[in-house]
Amino acid sequence: MNSPLTGLNPEQQQVVLSTHGPVLVLAGAGSGKTRALTHRIAYLIQQGIARPDEILAVTFTNKASAEMKHRIQGLLGSAALTPRAVSTFHSMGVKILREQTHAHGRSHGFSILDSKDSEKLVRRILKQENYSLKEWGSSAVRGMLSKIKQEYVDSPAFAEAQTPKEAMLQKVFPKYEHMLAEHDAYDFDDLLRVPLRILRANQAIREMYQLRWKFLSIDEYQDTNAIQDEIISLLLGKDRNICVVGDDYQAIYSWRGASVDHILQFEHRYPGCKTILLTQNYRSTPNVLDAANTVISQNIDQKHKTLWTTEKAGEAVQVLQLSSDRFEAEWTCSSIREYVSKGGALKDCAILYRTNAQSRLLEEQFLTHRVPYTIVGGFRFYDRKEIKDALAILSFYLSPSSRVHFERVADALLKRVGPKTIDRWEQTAKEYHISLQAYLEYMNDRPDIASIITTFQKAREQTFEKVSDLLSFLITNIGYLTMLQNLPDGKEREENVQELFNVASAYTTTEQFLEDTALLSDIDRLEDQQDRVTCMTLHASKGLEFPIIYIIGCEEGLLPHNNSLSSQSSIEEERRLLYVGMTRARKNLTITYSAYRYIGGEMTPQAASRFLEQLPEAEQAFQENTFIAHSSDVSDFLHEDPTLVVSAAGSYVQHQKFGRGVVIGTSDNNLTCVFEGHGVKSVPTNSCVEQE
């Protein structure tokens, strides 16, 4: 077993050797913070300072926690020595809730509702209260409820309503909470809010966890919100053995409740704190770092540090002004195709932007030129209907009182069973003090329901080695796969369900499988081996790295965004956002902005972002002769149709395989169309018949 100090630079070694008391590690982008943190945990165990079960390490994504476990196991050479409590904040919350069922109002097998399931509850309540769904969208109201939960750990004491919105929330919030309790479920906000409530109120439980977890490690500390930070403070024992790692330069999530003040004020809150700076960068070239350092140095409310590297100088950072947003997309696509033609890989390239709407023109270019791409934040695998149906069947099997999951099962498999019918059944079940599933078993003689209950009974009589075996048994015997096979796109949907079986084959515990699928994020599913261009927002790029980075739309109104111009702190966060994007680049960084952008139906003049003004002269020089346009000048260009479609936009066509679709783009002998049930496809023009 090698020493955990092997291969670390002096500052990283200092992190490892600082084992007791509060420790603040300010780790710059690409400085090996995860390496330092995992080696520190391995050192604590190897030296006998802490047992594996005395360590709690919290990260923000499942991917990060899995990587941390893998690295620690590799250092220690044994899975038995690896701490089990390496998890995300939400997974830690679930663990506390599962262990402390006597301290809250749910069973051990409570369900976790994702945002879509939560919206379904909200929609039902809005209908019951006679609110217009057009006026009060379920998604928007769900967001309002989430904000209330983040602000109020305990139930909010509503003042007298002054606006229609406040009056609506006063009615909907308590009903929403009541429905969650009835369905034996929690939403994502509850996974942190309820554990905090338990830790606040129950000293015995609080002290139990303090004695269990004597050494706390928190990754990405700059991203913690008030609830997360208080949970950590309550779990911290009297010895104050806490190590937080983060970078205030990368604090970009205030919009979801994160506070950069947690890391900026850590030394004040924990007197005697040891602060260590990690500034040696192992990712980027000096050119990229010089540009990024210059941009972020303009912020005032930061703990300033300068990143450096021993790497040789690489290509200069390019800052390009392009004639329009459309040509910006064309140029970016062309640049990537040229890179690939010289032997590069598509997966080396990532395009970052401030808003999701900016991806549209890029997607049109990629579709036109048949360039494979991935939109991080696009349609999720776990949001597909057949996947949600399969997970609902498994969840209802596990949680017999889950109305939300039975509604989805009924919608997929039962005819003439709507909310009113389920209301009646649920009410009868409550009168008999039994679960909804028990009512269906003993008091309903419908053959289709009997098939579901019989399948559940047979499953409970067996032992399944893997969750995939149980899931396959339920899905097959209930008849869901047969139902899929009868659909026009059944083969594709069945393949998706088979992929879900592949995921479930790695699990032996049903609860863990459902927790992980509920907590998965888009970044967790980004597969490195796929040879395709990656497109994502700057916010989504945090924690990733690529050889080639393009940051597009670096203009006033986009970066900084118009919504962030009201305060200096908001503008500084926007500057940090650009810094995060810049430091994703390993070798080549290109920043573009458009002279004109199509906004509100008009070509509108744009100004370069104020953040570009401070770039070093070596980078600024690239702006002088890079106003790249078509052969015509801008005045001529403005008379062109500003969208990709030049002739058949909006036309309806019929395709033999994909059915009816609407044309959104044309190129040479191809049409780019949106087909219902199949999404965007590029097809030969002669394969379609135009319709009225």
Q: How far apart are CA 93 and CA 686, in angstroms?
A: 56
The yes-or-no answer to whether 10-99+193-278 and 308-378+527-620 have a common fold is yes
To the question of whether residue 390 is assigned a binding role by annotation, the answer is no
Start-to-end CA distance of the chain, whole Å, equals 73
Alpha-helical segments (H) within 157-225: 164-182, 190-201, 203-212
Catalytic one of 214, 388, 408, 584: 584
Q: In 3-state terms, what secondary structure has residue 472?
A: helix
Q: Can you tell me the mean pLDDT for 202-229?
A: 96
Catalytic one of 38, 250, 302, 583: 250
Question: What is the reported pLDDT for 670?
Answer: 73
Question: What is the reported pLDDT for 668?
Answer: 61
Q: In 3-state terms, what secondary structure has residue 323?
A: strand
Catalytic one of 12, 34, 82, 368: 34
Residue 691 sits at φ, ψ, to 5 deg, of -125, 165
Residue 672 sits at φ, ψ, to 5 deg, of -105, 120
Domain ranges of the chain: 10-99+193-278, 111-183, 308-378+527-620, 381-519, 651-690
Catalytic one of 33, 35, 120, 542: 33
To the question of whether residue 33 is assigned a binding role by annotation, the answer is yes
pLDDT of residue 448 exceeding 60: yes
Q: How far apart are CA 278 and CA 33, in angstroms?
A: 7
pLDDT of residue 630 exceeding 50: no
pLDDT of residue 520 exceeding 70: no
Q: What are 336-354's pLDDT values in tens digits?
A: 999 999 999 999 999 999 9
Q: What are 392-435's pLDDT values in tens digits?
A: 999 999 999 999 999 999 988 888 888 889 999 999 999 889 99
Q: Can you tell me the mean pLDDT for 637-645?
A: 30
Q: Can you tell me the mean pLDDT for 574-583?
A: 97
Q: What are 449-478's pLDDT values in tens digits?
A: 999 999 999 999 999 988 999 999 999 999
Buried b (16+ CB within 10 A) or exposed e, 490-528: eeebbebbeebbebbbebeebbebbbbbbbbbbbeeeee
Query: What is the chain's mean pLDDT, rounded?
Result: 86
To the question of whether residue 31 is assigned a binding role by annotation, the answer is yes
Q: Is 34 among the residues known to form the active site?
A: yes
Q: In 3-state terms, what secondary structure has residue 596?
A: strand
Residues in the chain: 692
Architecture of domain 10-99+193-278: 3-Layer(aba) Sandwich (3.40)
AA identity, residue 260: V
Q: Is 219 among the residues known to form the active site?
A: yes
Q: Is 584 among the residues known to form the active site?
A: yes
Q: Is 187 among the residues known to form the active site?
A: no
Cβ neighbors of 679 (< 8 A, separation 6 or more) are 379
For domain 381-519, the question of CATH label 2.60.40.420 is answered with no
Catalytic one of 114, 117, 219, 573: 219
To the question of whether residue 185 is assigned a binding role by annotation, the answer is no
User: Partners of 602 in the beta sheet?
Assistant: 599
Question: What is the reported pLDDT for 493?
Answer: 79
pLDDT of residue 648 exceeding 60: no
Catalytic one of 114, 119, 190, 220: 220
To the question of whether residue 665 is assigned a binding role by annotation, the answer is no
pLDDT of residue 485 exceeding 80: no
Q: Which CATH superfamily is domain 308-378+527-620 in?
A: P-loop containing nucleotide triphosphate hydrolases (3.40.50.300)
- pLDDT class for 635, splitting at 50, 70, 90? very low
Q: What are 254-296's pLDDT values in tens digits?
A: 988 899 999 999 999 999 999 999 999 999 999 999 999 999 9
Question: What is the reported pLDDT for 472?
Answer: 93
Q: How far apart are CA 7 and CA 490, in angstroms?
A: 52
H or E stretch covering 666: strand 659-667
pLDDT of residue 76 exceeding 80: yes
Q: Can you tell me the mean pLDDT for 302-320?
A: 92
Q: Can you tell me the mean pLDDT for 36-40?
A: 96
CATH code for the structural domain at 111-183: 1.10.10
pTM for this model (two decimals): 0.74
Torsion angle of alpha carbons 277, 278, 280, 282, nearest 10°?
Answer: -170
User: Partners of 283 in the beta sheet?
Assistant: none
To the question of whether residue 29 is assigned a binding role by annotation, the answer is yes
Of 683 and 618, the structure prediction assigns the larger pLDDT to 683
